Amino acid sequence: MNDRLIIFDTTLRDGEQSPGASMNLAEKLQVAHALKDLGVDVIEAGFPIASPGDFEAVQAIAREVRGPVICGLARCNAADIDRAGEALRDCPRRRIHVFLATSAIHRQFKLKMAKEEIIRRSIDGIKRARQYTEDVEFSPEDAARTELDFLVEVVEAAIDAGATTVNIPDTVGYAVPSQYAATIAHLKKHVRNIDKAIISVHCHDDLGMAVANSLAAVMEGARQVECTINGIGERAGNCALEEVVMAVRTRQDYFQLTTNINTKKLYPTSRLVSHVTGIQVQRNKAIVGQNAFAHEAGIHQDGLLKERTTYEIMNPEDIGVPQTELVLGKHSGRHALRQRVLDLGYHLTEEQLQKVFDGFKALADRKKVIYDADVEALAEAQIHSGPALWTLEAVSCNAGSATIPSAAVCLWHQDGTIVRQASLGDGPVDAVFKAIEHITGIEVKLRDYRVRSVTVGEDAQGEAHIEAEYNGRIINGRAVSTDIIEASALAFLQVINRIALRMAAEQRIHSTEAPPREPAAAS
Ligand code: KIV
Ligand code: ZN
């Protein structure tokens, strides 16, 4: 049997469906380039019919990123498939991924369709997708809760219709490893034409078993795993790419499989995705968490000093965890900085690199040493500085135990006007946020606000992280500065700009398009 495991990354599609994880075009392009450098086989770049922004992102990635197969998602209907076909048109290696739910619950309550109609629509959808590309993936959504005999029928029909990959999603994270593996074994045994397609798995983590389920399926012959960086995704997330890849590599003796992943890029890619989405990686997260290679117990430290493998099954260097964070100083040149920016996973234009270099020189005047996190903050400022309605010109505040906290904020609007506002608040940061809300006319519910230092030392930069709610949607913002009030104002403004951009995009859609028949969201 084929011993190569195909890594299908859906960070930009299912991952982006994590509450608060939405990315702008520039951010999606950064992530797509980083995924290519990482060596993923397939990038699911988005769901083109979902919004003009999704279409634009899939199209831009399809035009710009060469190497991996670029995939677009579509429901089993002509409009979705045509839109995906159009977005991917300029890509030599393109895939359309069509899906239709098959479980009794979805048939009865969501689709109100009989089994025969599901099969007919799946066949029509796959055949339509084949008009755009020979690489067509089909997903019977909620497969893990679908009756086995019906699943066999659907998968067989899908392959006959031209599907080259059949994906078996555990859409709601309901499966357990032995049962999910048995489903794959059943399909291998009973689907007449199963050898004509790759079996793929797509597991959600609602019960914390997405990786275990995926690996159990691999042992039964699945040869594509759908996963996301840091396991981000709808609800509890998807199968974590770094965990699957390192499990297969570390336990080569057991899985006897290889992947195309350059594991040294796992850590920088994880950081990039975390920064771009604003979703922090939990400290004890396997492979890429801050504690993944930290040994606290004396016995462990002693063992490690004697022989690393006593307590470490993986070498942190193989994942790309930096051995020393100290990278650059005041006299470091442009070339060293450019290399560091690339190593950290950022693909910037010459103009953006120049701005990073200018920022680096200014920062080096204020700080003795520049760490990776400082360079990341400078690089990120470039990719975040996509289209912004509002820009911070200046912020100042007044606080203390015997005074009412107040702030003065000055913002530039994209149209060239400058607006100033003073506000009182419960504290200086609250006063800053109120002033920004007043100027922009956008009021949000603050769900979380954190400040931490990104590096060590008294001159370390402060990172502000904000999670806000607007119209039931979660939006994240993050910014770094040597001044924590400025970092807070910038992070808050990032949230406001994301909302303003989304509102503008929604207005465009409503004025040009009729609403879709069913919600264009997948899990
Ligand atoms: O979870 C799911 O079922 C999905 C499909 C679109 C593959 O994301
Ligand atoms: Zn999913």
Rounded Cα distance, 304 and 433, in Å: 48
Would you state the pLDDT for residue 517? 43
CB burial of 222-259 (b: ≥16 within 10 Å; e: otherwise) equals bbbbbbbbbbbbbeebbbbbbbbbbbbbbeeeebebeb
At 60, the amino acid letter reads A
Q: Which atom of ligand 1 is nearest to the CA of 238?
A: 1
Give 167's strand partners. 200
* Backbone phi, psi, residue 167, to 5°: -100, 140
Per-residue pLDDT of the chain (523 residues; tens, 9 = 90+): 679 999 999 999 999 988 778 788 999 999 999 999 999 999 999 999 999 999 999 999 999 999 999 999 999 999 999 999 999 999 999 999 999 999 999 999 999 999 999 999 999 999 999 999 999 999 999 999 999 999 999 999 999 999 999 999 999 999 999 999 999 999 999 999 999 999 999 999 999 999 999 999 999 999 999 999 999 998 999 999 999 999 999 999 999 999 999 999 999 999 999 988 888 899 899 999 988 887 667 777 777 777 778 888 999 999 998 765 556 777 777 888 888 888 888 889 999 999 999 988 888 887 777 888 888 888 888 876 566 789 999 999 999 888 999 999 999 999 999 999 999 999 999 999 999 999 999 999 999 999 988 776 777 888 899 999 999 888 888 888 889 999 999 999 989 998 988 787 666 555 544 444 445 556 5
- DSSP secondary structure code for residue 195 in this structure: G
Rounded Cα distance, 497 and 405, in Å: 25
| 156 Cβ contact list (under 8 Å, min separation 6) | 191, 192, 193, 194
| Fold match, 6-277 / 388-509 | no
- Which residue minimizes the CA distance to atom 3 of ligand 1? 171
Give the Å distance between the CA of 102 and the centre of ligand 1.
Answer: 12
CB burial of 371-380 (b: ≥16 within 10 Å; e: otherwise) equals bbbbbbbbbb
Mutate to test the pocket of ligand 1, among 13, 167, 171 (most ligand atoms within 8 A of CB): 171
For the domain made up of 388-509, the CATH class stated in words is alpha beta
Q: How far is CA 229 from CA 33, 136, 461, 490, in A?
A: 14, 23, 26, 26
Specify the long-range contacts of residues 439-447, CB closer than 8 Å, at least 24 apart: 439/390, 439/409, 439/411, 440/389, 440/390, 440/411, 440/496, 440/500, 442/470, 442/496, 442/499, 442/500, 444/468, 444/469, 444/470, 444/475, 444/495, 444/496, 444/499, 445/469, 445/470, 447/474
Give the Å distance between the CA of 142 and the centre of ligand 2.
Answer: 9
Task: Judge whether 323 and 330 are in contact, CB under 8 Å.
Answer: no
**Which H/E stretch holds residue 191?**
none
Ion ligand 2: residues, Cβ under 5 Å: 14, 523
At 447, the amino acid letter reads R
Mutate to test the pocket of ligand 1, among 141, 172, 204, 205 (most ligand atoms within 8 A of CB): 141
DSSP assignment of 312-375: -SS-HHHHT--S--EEE-TT--HHHHHHHHHHTT----HHHHHHHHHHHHHHHHH-S-EEHHHH
Q: Considering only CA atoms, which of 398, 379, 390 is closest in space to residue 490? A: 390
Task: Judge whether 100 and 110 are in contact, CB under 8 Å.
Answer: no
Would you state the pLDDT for residue 515? 40
Q: Which atom of ligand 1 is nearest to the CA of 204?
A: 1
Pocket of ligand 1 (CB under 6 A): 14, 99, 139, 141, 167, 169, 171, 202, 204, 522-523
CA 300, 291, 382 angle in degrees (round to 5)? 150
Rounded Cα distance, 437 and 414, in Å: 16
- Which residue minimizes the CA distance to atom 4 of ligand 1? 523
Q: Which residue has the tokens 């506002």?
A: 421
Would you state the pLDDT for residue 325? 55
Give the Å distance between the CA of 67 and the centre of ligand 2.
Answer: 24
Cα 98 to the center of its chain, rounded Å: 21
Give the Å distance between the CA of 167 and the centre of ligand 2.
Answer: 11
Domain boundaries, the chain: 6-277, 293-320, 326-384, 388-509
Give the Å distance between the CA of 426 and the centre of ligand 2.
Answer: 42
Task: Count CB atoms within 10 A of the CB of residue 111.
Answer: 17
Q: Considering only CA atoms, which of 411, 447, 408, 444 is closest in space to residue 424? A: 408
Task: Judge whether 295 and 311 are in contact, CB under 8 Å.
Answer: yes
Q: Give the homologous superfamily in CATH for domain 6-277.
A: Aldolase class I (3.20.20.70)
- Which residue minimizes the CA distance to atom 8 of ligand 1? 523
Would you state the pLDDT for residue 513? 43
Label the pairing between strands 69-75 and 390-398: unpaired
73 alpha carbon, closest ligand:
1
Single pTM value for the model: 0.85
Q: Which atom of ligand 1 is nearest to the CA of 139?
A: 7
Rounded Cα distance, 173 and 105, in Å: 15
Cα 145 to the center of its chain, rounded Å: 26
Q: Which atom of ligand 1 is nearest to the CA of 226?
A: 7
Q: How far is CA 379 from CA 26, 27, 359, 485, in A?
A: 12, 11, 9, 20
Give the Å distance between the CA of 233 and the centre of ligand 2.
Answer: 7
Give the Å distance between the CA of 166 and the centre of ligand 1.
Answer: 12
**Which H/E stretch holds residue 414?**
none
Rounded Cα distance, 331 and 334, in Å: 10
CB burial of 409-448 (b: ≥16 within 10 Å; e: otherwise) equals bbbeeeeeeeeebebebeebbbbbbbbbbebbebebeeee
Backbone Cα Rg of the chain: 24
Using CA atoms of 75, 77, 78, 82 in order, give the dihedral in degrees to the nearest 10: 0
